[in-house]
Structure 1
Amino acid sequence: MSLKSSVAITAGKTSHWFLHKFTNGGTSLPGKITLAIDPDVLKSLAKDYEIVIITGTNGKTLTTALTVKVLGEKYSNILTNPSGSNMKQGIVSAFLTAQKTKSGKKLAVLETDEANVPIISQYISPSIYVMTNLFRDQMDRYGEIYTTYDKILKGINMHPDALVIANGDAPIFNSRELKNKVIYYGFDDKADREQMAPANTDSLLCPKCQHILHYKNRSYSNLGKYYCPNCDFKRPKLSYRMNRILSQSPQSSTFEIDNTTISLHIGGTYNIYNALAAYAVGNELGVSPQQIAHALSSNDEKVFGRQEVIKIGDKELTLVLIKNPVGLDQVLDMIKTDTEPFSLAVLLNANYADGIDTSWIWDGSFESLPFDKIPAILTGGERYRDITFRLRVAGVPEENFSQEEKLPDVLENIKKMPTKHIYVLATYTAVLQLRKLLSEQGYIKGGMD
């Protein structure tokens, strides 16, 4: 290790200690300080690790958390970035805080922002890349999904010996030939039935001949058993498959992966995909199906705004991140399965980390909500006027509707809602702001982390 790297790492670790001791923060700032001294420091920090990179539009954070749990059944030295700080500085911070170990394989499971995959790949040598999905998201930053995929592939192409584990139900991940070995996971839980996706769905054209893709079964959006009726393009052979859904609720899903039963204590069809990706990584790294099922079925998956349940007095607040139309619709579908009345708050910000364009809220199907069993609906966040207008257009009854400009007022309103269970849907920086406020009031620990 060079003197520059040693100085940079010492400075970063010192800043992390100070920030965590006195501010309860320090997720990415130590990485920024370290990189300012030595921009190449990640090479030194990561050199002794076997690395898994997890990327994609939706599901990165939970897939990373589930993968760490699965690998924890066999390995004890696992580093990760659990708070969703997934750009270069956040990943450097994760390595800075790693505990020293004397023996055993050292693994790093890193959630990585799509645009940062090629940046990170310059400095480390991953053994596995995991791709969850690609949907329209932060168009001001990423552009169309094909542009985003080019960025991911730029990183993967630097490491042709790495294994690629991709969502086989997403047509885009089968659209390019790679030098890498690629294995796929997906859903095989329904009988074949000829169908097409809705016309406004992403990525519906065959990458070979530009004909509209058809489906033999479909889970949501453009994900499913696709094929082109005009050429030979079709879903690739799956190495890992979810073959049966046994039950679903907003709080849980029970399903089978390759005939192994798993009870995931978090709701949503989209989260079954996340569990399937974690299953694939675990199996490829030598964790048995029984060990994987044990890890995925334990009751502590809810992390950092991903269906995190927070008790506020006699209320149970379920905090869910939303950031694009496909993810939003999956969240709405999930909460609609609740058999009891619930209240709802939607917090909209439009900072850089959220995406500054809020037009995506108009593509979400708020109209499908069962307003007759939602006695209280609240809007808030820095762009509360935008989401208020959207929900009024969706048909929210005025007698059940309120709006608050300031976050402390939002929280006070939530405390007074008439139902025990409250869903709070929030964009990324709104999640951070609300968690900080909840931490200050003693409802959670950590706030920003």
Structure 2
Amino acid sequence: MAHSITFKSRVAIIAGRFSYWFLHTFMKGGSSLPGKIARRIDPDVLQALGRDYDVVIVTGTNGKTLTTNLITKVLNQKYQEVLTNPTGSNMMQGIITAFLAKGKHGKRRLAVLEVDEANVLPVSQYLTPKAYVMTNIFRDQMDRYGEFYTTYEKILAGIRLHPTATIIANGDAPIFSSRELPNPWRYYGFALSENQNDDQVAPPNTDGVLCPVCEHILHYHGMTYSNLGSFFCPHCGFKRPALAHAVTSVSDLTPTSSAFAIDGRDLTLGIGGMYNVYNALAAYSVGAEFGVSADAVAKAFAYDEKVFGRQEEINVDGKTVTLILVKNPVGLNEVLAMIQRQPDHFGLGVLLNANYADGTDTSWIWDGNFEQLVESGRATTYLVGGERYKDIAFRMTVAGVDNLIEKPDLGDVINQVKQMPEDHVYLLATYTAVLQLRKKLADGGYIKQGF
């Protein structure tokens, strides 16, 4: 039942919408400040803003932004308008801003929201989730979340408030089927031609390889990456749950495209990486839950629109620059594996910050497979920058990089990129470094201002 809007909420909404209008009219953007202003006036303003919405919450360590974007495109095939937070501003103030950006209306609508793992509980206290989508949980921002079992408990605290909401979860991640909840569950995963007689284990440095039931080492009939795959525990019998939807084949993976089949239906996506096939599978699963046909999903996937900071291609004076967000070892290693599929030699820049939104602990870079990249010889020029450039410079030197270019200032990074001999440069950057670099690129006229 929709609650009446209080006078305090009305004032907060008016102030928030005015600040949003002012920032986007005169300051070229603002994805969180309007929400911060509105919440300062009324801490409960999200309840008023979201009272007419059914909500899909997307959370997890990696893939939230692209998964949210793909789900929105899929649901737009059936629903006229779907509210979302496309810039990845996924904490409370950013989510409030997403609602402030929409005008008044009087009918029930749908929202697809990327939500930071630690914000699932407060967001769930104010909104009415119809579904929770969980991508994966890996070691990430240890200063904020702790170990990934702690992260999962933060998510579950929000889900427990809505026992009838459908949970659409990555069934290849052992952690997601390890807790009993009354909610209806839909699992998705990879069902390639793994041999049920195969018995393999994950590499020893992989997180989450212990059975969450009995703490013995998990075994696999088939693996995709990290601890994801067709797992089973030979000690207690815990195993991957039945999949409602599955990737049944992967025919081609390049740094800029993916061709695969879900439930036997051939699909393509204009973005590379095995990890992004998982994101597409999550979106497909949500579409199926909301009655979107496979043909409509294929049409949604056909839109060749890069998401903010996620393999975003930028033309810098005729040179192709691909900007990719990295924030933890698993994501970093998947990106490094992906760019090594590039047929031509390329330049590589790594931009490292350690602010609150990035995670203040930079030790995760030591789990990156930079040695493998150096040995491959695919990257021929290396560049480091950002506020913690010394940390990443040391890591690259240990990996065997010679003649490393160091440019702490991101404006200097752009100028250096122009001078690189390669036609294609990949820039891997942490979250605040992505924001800072995009502002520099916007100031130079290479991309549009704002988000």
TM-score with structure 1 setting the length: 0.97
Deviation at 1:298, TM superposition (A): 2.3
User: What is the RMSD computed on CA atoms of the aligned residues?
Assistant: 1.1
CA deviations 1:274-326 (Å, max 9, x no partner) are 000000111101110110011112211x1110000011111010000000000
Aligned to 1:428: 431
Query: Mean Cα displacement is larger for which, 184-193 or 325-334?
Result: 184-193
- Show the 5 A alignment for 1:208-247: 208-247=213-252
CA deviations 1:92-146 (Å, max 9, x no partner) are 000000144576x511000000000001011011000000000000001100001
The CA distance in 2 between the partners of 1:273 and 1:152, in whole Å, is 20
Counterpart of 1:277 in structure 2: which amino acid? A
Equivalent pair of 2:31/2:89 in contact (CA under 8 Å): yes
Corresponding position: 1:38 with 2:39? no
Provide the secondary structure at the position in 1 that maps to 2:127.
coil
Aligned to 2:143: 140
Aligned residue among 107, 110, 121 for 1:107 = 110
CA deviations 1:229-264 (Å, max 9, x no partner) are 011200000001000001010000000000111110
The CA distance in 1 between the partners of 2:408 and 2:228, in whole Å, is 37
The CA distance in 2 between the partners of 1:374 and 1:249, in whole Å, is 16
Aligned residue among 267, 270, 291 for 1:265 = 270
The CA distance in 2 between the partners of 1:374 and 1:364, in whole Å, is 15
Aligned to 2:377: 372
Equivalent pair of 2:52/2:106 in contact (CA under 8 Å): no
Counterpart of 1:348 in structure 2: which amino acid? L
Corresponding position: 1:312 with 2:319? no
The CA distance in 2 between the partners of 1:73 and 1:372, in whole Å, is 43
Equivalent pair of 2:199/2:221 in contact (CA under 8 Å): yes
Counterpart of 1:46 in structure 2: which amino acid? G
Counterpart of 2:394 in structure 1: which amino acid? F
Equivalent pair of 1:77/1:101 in contact (CA under 8 Å): no
Corresponding position: 1:158 with 2:161? yes
The CA distance in 2 between the partners of 1:223 and 1:265, in whole Å, is 23
The CA distance in 2 between the partners of 1:280 and 1:363, in whole Å, is 32
Counterpart of 1:70 in structure 2: which amino acid? V
Counterpart of 2:28 in structure 1: which amino acid? N
Counterpart of 2:166 in structure 1: which amino acid? L
Counterpart of 2:27 in structure 1: which amino acid? T
Provide the secondary structure at the position in 1 that maps to 2:377.
helix
What is the count of residue pairs matched by the alignment?
444
The CA distance in 2 between the partners of 1:278 and 1:373, in whole Å, is 32
Identity %: 59
Provide the secondary structure at the position in 2 that maps to 1:243.
strand
Equivalent pair of 1:57/1:133 in contact (CA under 8 Å): yes
Aligned to 2:288: 283
Deviation at 1:373, TM superposition (A): 3.2
Counterpart of 1:252 in structure 2: which amino acid? S
The CA distance in 1 between the partners of 2:272 and 2:377, in whole Å, is 22
- Show the 5 A alignment for 1:15-26: 15-26=19-30
The CA distance in 1 between the partners of 2:73 and 2:103, in whole Å, is 17
Corresponding position: 1:327 with 2:331? yes
Aligned to 1:440: 443
Equivalent pair of 2:74/2:292 in contact (CA under 8 Å): yes
Deviation at 1:25, TM superposition (A): 2.3
Aligned residue among 9, 29, 32 for 2:33 = 29
Deviation at 1:191, TM superposition (A): 2.2
The CA distance in 2 between the partners of 1:332 and 1:373, in whole Å, is 11
Provide the secondary structure at the position in 2 that maps to 1:369.
helix
CA deviations 1:59-102 (Å, max 9, x no partner) are 00000000001011111121000001001110000000014457
Equivalent pair of 2:46/2:126 in contact (CA under 8 Å): yes
Deviation at 1:210, TM superposition (A): 1.5
Counterpart of 1:165 in structure 2: which amino acid? I
Provide the secondary structure at the position in 1 that maps to 2:276.
helix
Deviation at 1:38, TM superposition (A): 0.7
The CA distance in 2 between the partners of 1:51 and 1:298, in whole Å, is 23
Corresponding position: 1:54 with 2:91? no
Equivalent pair of 1:130/1:277 in contact (CA under 8 Å): yes
Corresponding position: 1:202 with 2:197? no
CA deviations 1:348-401 (Å, max 9, x no partner) are 000000000000000011011155332211000000011001001101122xx2
Corresponding position: 1:295 with 2:300? yes
The CA distance in 2 between the partners of 1:445 and 1:334, in whole Å, is 27
Equivalent pair of 1:139/1:355 in contact (CA under 8 Å): yes
The CA distance in 2 between the partners of 1:179 and 1:436, in whole Å, is 45
Provide the secondary structure at the position in 2 that maps to 1:376.
strand
Deviation at 1:2, TM superposition (A): 1.2
The CA distance in 2 between the partners of 1:373 and 1:174, in whole Å, is 39
Corresponding position: 1:127 with 2:130? yes
Equivalent pair of 2:443/2:449 in contact (CA under 8 Å): no
Q: Any stretches of 5+ residues in structure 1 without a counterpart?
A: none
Aligned to 2:18: 14
